[in-house]
Amino acid sequence: MPFLWEGALATPTPGSLFERHFIRSYTEAGGQLPERWPILAKLNDLISLCELLNHSSGAPNRVRDLVRLIHGILQEYDR
């Protein structure tokens, strides 16, 4: 089963109960997670946020929230 992150904008916090249950459930169902699946999920989140931003003209509060979320992802991986 190929990896496909269905939880866009809901990437689990590393080590969280949700992440542990997600991994267990996914692998028990026959799924195989790529070695760096968390970063792939974050990249998917980033793409989704950018797409939402692309369609948010005229909604300044939404734009502000989306930009904040995008910055948060980028700062997390700024190494």
Domain boundaries, the chain: 17-76
Which alpha helices (DSSP H) does 1-79 contain, by range? 17-28, 37-54, 60-76
What is the reported pLDDT for 71? 94
The CA-atom distances, in angstroms, between 27 and each of 8, 20, 36, 76 are 19, 11, 15, 26
For residue 55 the two structure tokens come to: 């369609």
What is the reported pLDDT for 1? 40
Please give the model's pTM, rounded to 2 decimal places.
Answer: 0.71
Residue-wise pLDDT for 29-53, tens only, equals 998 888 888 888 888 889 989 999 9
Question: Who has greater pLDDT, 15 or 68?
Answer: 68
CB 13 within 8 A of CB 45: no
